[in-house]
Structure 1
Amino acid sequence: MTVPADVEAGRARPEELTEAPQALVVVPTRELCQQVTNDLLTAGKVRNVRVLSIYGGRAYEPQVEALARGVDVVVGTPGRLLDLAGQRKLRLSQIRTLVLDEADEMLDLGFLPDVEKIMEQLPAKRQTMLFSATMPGQVIGLARRYMSQPTHIRATDPDDAGATVANITQHVFRAHSMDKPEMVARILQANGRGLAMVFCRTKRTAADVADQLSRRGFASGAVHGDLGQGAREQALRAFRNGKVDVLVCTDVAARGIDVEGVTHVINYQTPEDEKTYLHRIGRTGRAGNTGTAVTLVDWDDIPRWQLINKALNLDFHDPAETYSTSPHLFEVLGIPEGTKGILPRAERTRAGLAAEEVEDLGGRESKRSGGGGRAKAGAEEAERPRRTRSRQRRRTRGGVAVAADAPAAATAAVPEQSAAEPEAAPADGAPRTPRRRRRRRRTTTSGAADS
């Protein structure tokens, strides 16, 4: 891409400068979008490259204003990118480089139609790059359709065994669902444990496990789809900054999230397939570091795990039955003898999730659960003065106002008027008394005629 520094150095002509984006990076998740943006800002700091992240959950106005001022690189999720492009706020006519990060995940999440619509708006002459840890047939088909003579580059370590990384020590245990929280609490107290990520299949399980770990004394945060974008970014920031050392999340954080210092990955629930398993355990053992991956397989998930084991050619076809008090659990994971399921108070040194502020994103999701909106609403409710005026009731009987202290007998009697007597005109200002109808009883004449 061309930036003003290139013109000043004589590497480009002034007419090559443009305010429209010159590179587009498409990612499947919001968390990955923020991470890629931060990495590109760091890499392009010397050249003063303008990078903008575009994703849902944030207000439109700041993103539209940044696009109007001009950017060089746009990183975004397919939905918001397509939305702004349809409103002609995002110009794609000057794109020279397209990057699809975690391409297989975008296909799994159903983003293929949106990605194709975005690619149709790009210039035909461009450079296209697809990045993915796994390369299924759909990704290869996408490359053949939209790329000209693509080159497949595979970056692996010669020491890697099969599809897994050699410097990740893997353990698989058959565990009971009722004993898993106790097992996780003891695994998190293993010797040499740094940051840890606990993966769950469902949002409800992730929220429940995070609450249980918090009650056991661990500084934990949660990242799942039921949280607002502000709460999700708060948990990730606290995890990166070390205020929280345990992150409980769904597979939304299993793709591309790179946090330095993650030593343990725990699969609280068995992943759906082998691709998800690879992405989960890939959060540790990055950049030459070592890591530990622990998978807890419930009895009902044994068939699913055996399919994963066979696909990846692992040696854990029949995991050993393990409980929180099993001696081999303490031995293989380096857990000190006598460790209980509650973190001692002397080891509770982290600041916790509350020490990280929630950023006000200005979008609709800022008022969702966990995004800070509920707390603000509660504060506004507390500041609002209570109603002091009591409600006044007006008693009437027969259309006439009745005093509160008047006896019931006095107001109950209403003089009856005969049908022939005309109704008296009410005095000026006096309420009109409604006329009461007379009831007439029907009499039979058959008995009198017989007599």
Structure 2
Amino acid sequence: MRLRQANLTTFRELGVIPEIADALETEGISTAFPIQEMALPLALAGQDLIGQARTGTGKTYAFGIAMLQSIGKPRKSRKKPRGLVVVPTRELAIQVSEDLTTAAGKLGSRVLTVYGGRAYEPQVEALKAGVDVIVGTPGRLLDLVKQKHLDLSQVTMLVLDEADRMMDLGFLPDIERIFKLVPDERQTMLFSATMPGEIVALSRKYLNRPTHVRAENSDVDESELTPQVRQFVWRVHRMDKIELLARMLQAEGRGLTMVFCETKRACDMVSEQLQTRGFAAAAVHGDLGQGQREQALRAFRNGKIDVLVATDVAARGIDIDDVTHVVNYDTPNDEKTYVHRIGRTGRAGRTGIAVTFVEWEQLTRWKMINQMLGLEFAEPEETYSSSPHVYAELGIPEGTKGVLPREARKRAGLDAERLEDLGETGRSRTRVKERERPARAPRERRRTRSGRSVEETQVVEAEVGSMPERKVEETPALISADELEVKPKRTRTRRAVNESVPAEVPAAAPAVAPAVDEAPRRVRSRRDAVVAEPVVAEPVAQPAAQPVAQPVAAEAPSFLSTPPPPVRREPERIVPASPFQVIFQSPDLATDDDEIAPSAATERQQQRRRARGNGAAGGGQRRR
């Protein structure tokens, strides 16, 4: 953090030890801001306090100098930390750690930064070597305590930086657990730009008679917290926002620019479109790996990129020099988010420009923000990328289009910054444009036959072909050659094949078993059963004196030979001779003893007959 202000009060006059004062003067920081003037004497006296000031006024040094001075010089025998700073985001943890390291340059205090997304091993080794101050996020702090690598039993000063943001992110249960891990006899300080009711309730519960320090006048409205920032609010169309932003980025005197979006997908979209138009831009949001987020921030600080597109993860505590423009690409959700977003520019006495885009459906949200902050933009002016007042108010040259000219593309870009391997934990996260599909290995296909490769089959066939042929003994056949051509009878099982062999064989004919043993006995399907199993037909009735036909030698099939293709038989179609022909008739379950039940018509006929019979009998009696 670079603090430069023409103040008469110096850090030496506030009671800061020479080691810390000299380190700050080496960095060009010799005078104190109002929040530091008011908070440092109370913090050095050991009192609990609540510090409230707008962003960019040096709240980090207000508690950091007091913490380093109370801890004193490091000792080799001291391993456990004495100071603890809890922050809501990783980027803010890095920022606070850098400021404390700068202040403790000549003092030699050991400052360690712990946060998620990095490997545990370097942090565990640093804890074993010994640290004096720990700056970290609640999640990683509790993880190290749970793994018994971190001991907070000797902490004498606890600081909550950006406490309101931690409440918004749902860190209140983790903060309460951290309060229970530190000793009761400690000094506690809360610092934040806003002071909601949750922070007041937390201070009453865990702070001991705190002093509320506010660097601004209580009568000053929230809208005047950033008087050095020129604010513009325009009502724009969604399809024209990227064109309007591209023309704004070509304004005269523009330095580093931060563009805030509502969603992670919007960040990627805006960053990619700006890169396509020739701007050196990069995105920072939660879906990126920690190494990629730090790479983008380093490139932004070093000037390799001049446009940083981010979500609200970068709206708190990020202090970067020469940020001249802040663009709210999407309307903030509330007035606090708006104050913190535009607070990224106009820091430490500088001036800046903040532009807010308001779409038609976001107009109601903006009116609430405008009313809460008391701004003068209740009815934003309807603006397009070709509106004349855009060129006049922002200093854009006439004739500027939405594509950066090639002669103006002088930034090295994000790829010029080295991507550090942090040993990231959790699921891997990569940018969309860096996802390279690995080269596909050539597919190897192996042709097989009967479960073996073609090469092995050829070797077996060669070995079988080189073997001497076995002589086949001729045996008298029981059937003639003409009868062999008849299609054999289909057999389903081996039992059916055996039943087809005649029970009695003439004594003159030798057994057929030797010829069958020479052929492989493999039955895989119905087709193989017909080929591999020899079927002997029934003997034909012949006269006793007739000679038996000469035997026919049948070649034994080999299992390596290709079987003949199966003969496909068409199923028989059942075509009735007449549509009135009965195809199926249910069986008659009646017996001879059962009486046939009469039908209704038969019963009516019988009733009529009985009635006529009774009438005729009665008439005859009357005639008699």
TM-score by length of 2: 0.62
Partner of 1:86: 146
Check 1:158–1:143 CA distance in 2 against 1; reply closer, same or farther (3 A cut): closer
**Residue 61 (1) aligns with residue 116 (2):** no
Report 1 or 2 for greater relative contact order, CA contacts < 8 Å, sequence distance ≥ 6: 1
Check 1:319–1:415 CA distance in 2 against 1; reply closer, same or farther (3 A cut): same
Give, as a single letter, the amino acid of the residue that structure 1 aligns with 2:368.
L
Shift of 1:18: 1.4
Q: 1:152 aligns with which of 192, 212, 224?
A: 212
Partner of 2:323: 262
Check 1:332–1:427 CA distance in 2 against 1; reply closer, same or farther (3 A cut): farther
Query: How far apart, CA to CA, are the structure 2 residues paired with 1:177 and 1:280?
Result: 21
Query: How far apart, CA to CA, are the structure 2 residues paired with 1:344 and 1:46?
Result: 47
Q: What are the Cα deviations for residues 231-281 of structure 1, in whole angstroms up to 9, with x where unaligned? A: 111111100110010000000000111001100000000000000000000
Shift of 1:14: 9.5
Query: How far apart, CA to CA, are the structure 2 residues paired with 1:372 and 1:185?
Result: 21
**Residue 27 (1) aligns with residue 87 (2):** yes
Partner of 1:363: 424
| Pairs within 5 Å for 1:120-269 | 120-156=180-216, 162-163=222-223, 164-269=225-330
Shift of 1:430: 4.7
Check 1:173–1:14 CA distance in 2 against 1; reply closer, same or farther (3 A cut): closer
Check 1:167–1:15 CA distance in 2 against 1; reply closer, same or farther (3 A cut): closer
Query: Residue 58 of structure 1 contacts residue 365 of structure 1 at CA under 8 Å; is this kept in 2?
Result: no
Secondary structure (helix, strand or coil) at the match of 2:377 reads coil
Shift of 1:17: 5.2
Query: Residue 52 of structure 1 contacts residue 74 of structure 1 at CA under 8 Å; is this kept in 2?
Result: yes
Secondary structure (helix, strand or coil) at the match of 1:227 reads coil
Shift of 1:204: 0.8
Q: What are the Cα deviations for residues 338-386 of structure 1, in whole angstroms up to 9, with x where unaligned? A: 11101111110000011111111112257322399956xx5xx45x9x4
Give, as a single letter, the amino acid of the residue that structure 1 aligns with 2:296.
A
Larger radius of gyration: 2
Query: Residue 229 of structure 1 contacts residue 371 of structure 1 at CA under 8 Å; is this kept in 2?
Result: no
Partner of 1:48: 108
Secondary structure (helix, strand or coil) at the match of 1:338 reads coil
Give me the CA root mean square deviation. Answer: 3.3
Partner of 2:38: none
Q: What are the Cα deviations for residues 68-118 of structure 1, in whole angstroms up to 9, with x where unaligned? A: 111111111101101111121111011111111110000000000001101
Q: What are the Cα deviations for residues 380-406 of structure 1, in whole angstroms up to 9, with x where unaligned? A: x45x9x45753232247xxxx998xx9
Secondary structure (helix, strand or coil) at the match of 1:178 reads helix
| Pairs within 5 Å for 1:364-379 | 364-365=425-426, 367-370=428-431, 374=435
Query: How far apart, CA to CA, are the structure 1 residues paired with 2:270 and 2:74?
Result: 56
Check 1:204–1:428 CA distance in 2 against 1; reply closer, same or farther (3 A cut): farther
Check 1:357–1:429 CA distance in 2 against 1; reply closer, same or farther (3 A cut): farther
Partner of 1:420: 499
Query: Residue 331 of structure 2 contacts residue 362 of structure 2 at CA under 8 Å; is this kept in 1?
Result: yes
Partner of 1:449: none
Give, as a single letter, the amino acid of the residue that structure 2 aligns with 1:97.
M
Give, as a single letter, the amino acid of the residue that structure 1 aligns with 2:306.
D
Give, as a single letter, the amino acid of the residue that structure 1 aligns with 2:186.
R
Q: What are the Cα deviations for residues 288-341 of structure 1, in whole angstroms up to 9, with x where unaligned? A: 000000001000011100000010000000000000000011111111111110
**Residue 393 (1) aligns with residue 483 (2):** no
Q: What are the Cα deviations for residues 160-186 of structure 1, in whole angstroms up to 9, with x where unaligned? A: 764431100000000001000001011
Query: Residue 73 of structure 2 contacts residue 108 of structure 2 at CA under 8 Å; is this kept in 1?
Result: no
Check 1:13–1:237 CA distance in 2 against 1; reply closer, same or farther (3 A cut): closer
Check 1:30–1:424 CA distance in 2 against 1; reply closer, same or farther (3 A cut): farther
Check 1:258–1:391 CA distance in 2 against 1; reply closer, same or farther (3 A cut): same
Give, as a single letter, the amino acid of the residue that structure 2 aligns with 1:420.
E
Q: 2:522 aligns with which of 432, 437, 445?
A: 432
Check 1:17–1:69 CA distance in 2 against 1; reply closer, same or farther (3 A cut): closer
Partner of 2:388: 327
Give, as a single letter, the amino acid of the residue that structure 2 aligns with 1:278.
V
Secondary structure (helix, strand or coil) at the match of 1:307 reads helix
Secondary structure (helix, strand or coil) at the match of 2:125 reads helix
Query: How far apart, CA to CA, are the structure 2 residues paired with 1:317 and 1:207?
Result: 30
Query: How far apart, CA to CA, are the structure 2 residues paired with 1:131 and 1:33?
Result: 14
Partner of 1:95: 155
Partner of 2:168: 108
Q: What are the Cα deviations for residues 198-236 of structure 1, in whole angstroms up to 9, with x where unaligned? A: 001111111100011100100001001121111111111
Query: How far apart, CA to CA, are the structure 2 residues paired with 1:371 and 1:25?
Result: 35
**Residue 294 (1) aligns with residue 358 (2):** no
Query: How far apart, CA to CA, are the structure 2 residues paired with 1:414 and 1:342?
Result: 87
Query: Residue 231 of structure 1 contacts residue 372 of structure 1 at CA under 8 Å; is this kept in 2?
Result: no
Query: How far apart, CA to CA, are the structure 1 residues paired with 2:314 and 2:74?
Result: 42
Secondary structure (helix, strand or coil) at the match of 2:389 reads helix
Shift of 1:60: 1.0
Between stretches 109-118 and 42-51, larger displacement belongs to: 42-51
Check 1:433–1:117 CA distance in 2 against 1; reply closer, same or farther (3 A cut): same
Give, as a single letter, the amino acid of the residue that structure 1 aligns with 2:499.
A
Number of positions where the alignment pairs a residue of Structure 1 with one of Structure 2: 416
Percentage of matched positions with identical amino acids: 56
4+ aligned runs moved over 6 Å, structure 1 = 11-16, 157-160, 422-426
Shift of 1:36: 1.1
Q: 1:280 aligns with which of 341, 354, 359?
A: 341
Between stretches 81-90 and 160-169, larger displacement belongs to: 160-169
Query: How far apart, CA to CA, are the structure 1 residues paired with 2:442 and 2:207?
Result: 68
Check 1:434–1:167 CA distance in 2 against 1; reply closer, same or farther (3 A cut): closer
Partner of 2:78: 18
Check 1:105–1:393 CA distance in 2 against 1; reply closer, same or farther (3 A cut): same
Query: How far apart, CA to CA, are the structure 1 residues paired with 2:89 and 2:513?
Result: 82
Query: How far apart, CA to CA, are the structure 1 residues paired with 2:153 and 2:257?
Result: 43
**Residue 313 (1) aligns with residue 374 (2):** yes
Check 1:109–1:157 CA distance in 2 against 1; reply closer, same or farther (3 A cut): same
Query: How far apart, CA to CA, are the structure 2 residues paired with 1:70 and 1:197?
Result: 38
Query: Residue 104 of structure 1 contacts residue 132 of structure 1 at CA under 8 Å; is this kept in 2?
Result: yes
Partner of 1:409: none
Check 1:104–1:47 CA distance in 2 against 1; reply closer, same or farther (3 A cut): same
Query: How far apart, CA to CA, are the structure 2 residues paired with 1:435 and 1:226?
Result: 60
TM-score by length of 1: 0.84
